[in-house]
Homo-oligomer: A and B are copies of this chain.
Amino acid sequence: MQTNPSQQAGQTLNGAESLVKTLLACGVDTCFANPGTSEMHFVAALDRIPGMRCVLGLFEGVVTGAADGYARMADKPAATLLHCGPGLANGLANLHNARRAQTPIVNIIGDQATYHRPLDAPLTADTEGWARPVSVWTRTAQRADQVGADAAAAVQAACAAPGGVASLILPSDVCWDEGGQVAAPLPPLAAPKVSPDAIEQAARWLRSGQPTLLVLAGTALRETPLADAHRIAAATDARLITPMSNARVSRGRGRFAVERVPYSGDAARAKLAGIRQVILVGAPPPVTFFAYPGKSPRPYPEDAQIHVLARPEQDLADALARLADALGAPAVPVPDAAAPVGVAKGAVTSEAVAQTLSALLPEQAVVVEESVSFGRAFYPGTLHAAPHDWLQLTGGAIGAGLPLAVGAAVAVPDRRVVALQADGSGMYTVQSLWTMAREQLDVTVVVLANRKYAILLGELAGVGANPGKTALDMLDIGNPDLDWVKLAAGMGVEGARAVDMESFADLFAMANKRKGPFLIELVI
Contact = CB atoms under 8 A, between A and B. Distances in A.
A480 B40 CA distance: 23
A172 interface: yes
Contacts of A363: none
Interface stretch (A122-130, A145-153, A330-338, A383-391): A122-130
Interface string A454-488: 01100110111101111101110101111111110
Interface residues of A, number: 105
A89 interface: yes
A9 interface: no
Centre residue among A100, A122, A459 by max chain B CB count within 10 A: A122
A112 interface: yes
Given A123-B396, A486-B490, A46 B481 contact: no
B121 A289 contact: yes
A207 interface: no
A205 interface: no
Interface string A478-510: 011111111101111000000000000000000
Nearest to A424: B58
Contact of A126 (B35, B133, B395, B482): B133
A167 interface: no
B289 A122 contact: yes
A55 B395 CA distance: 26
A86 B395 contact: yes
A235 B92 CA distance: 52
Contacts of A36: 456
Contacts of A133: 85, 125-126, 129-130
Nearest to A396: B123
A477 B56 contact: yes
Contact of A112 (B61, B291, B484): B291
Contact of A129 (B43, B90, B132, B474): B132
A21 to B, nearest CB: 14
Task: Specify how many copies of this chain sit in the oligomer.
Answer: 2
A508 to B, nearest CB: 21
B397 A123 contact: yes
Centre residue among A55, A465, A469 by max chain B CB count within 10 A: A465
Nearest to A172: B291
Contacts of A172: 290-291
Interface stretch (A304-312, A414-422, A427-435): A427-435
A57 B301 CA distance: 40
A290 B115 CA distance: 11
A288 interface: yes
Given A132-B129, A431-B427, A40 B460 contact: yes
Nearest to A123: B396
A424 to B, nearest CB: 7
A316 B102 CA distance: 51
A468 B58 contact: no
Given A40-B463, A121-B290, A483-B491, 13 more contacts: A43-B460, A58-B428, A85-B133, A87-B397, A89-B89, A89-B93, A92-B130, A113-B291, A116-B297, A122-B289, A122-B394, A486-B489, A490-B490
